[in-house]
Amino acid sequence: MLKLALFFLIVSLVAGLFGFSGISAVSAGMAKILFFIAILAFVVMVLIVLFSARSLFN
């Protein structure tokens, strides 16, 4: 998911460089959304691992 966010970020930068502001704005928005979804998924996975490890060792 982070690779896709990085792809949209690069598309946004290139589109902004060539003056396509609409495409740039949409790509930047998608990159931001995907980045925050990836961060949220990472936090959820860390919490799942911590709680399952705690139950294994108790």
Per-residue pLDDT tens digits for 28-57: 999 999 999 999 999 999 999 999 988 887
What pLDDT sits at residue 53?
86
Distance CA 40, CA 12 (A): 23
Q: Do the beta carbons of residue 31 and residue 5 sit within 8 Å?
A: yes
Whether 58 shows a pLDDT value over 80: the answer reads: no
Using the predicted structure, report yes or no on whether residue 17 has a pLDDT greater than 90. Answer: yes
Backbone CA torsion sign across 5, 33, 28, 46 = negative
pTM score: 0.81
Return the pLDDT at 54.
82
Q: What do you get for the CA distance between the two ends of the chain, in Å? A: 34
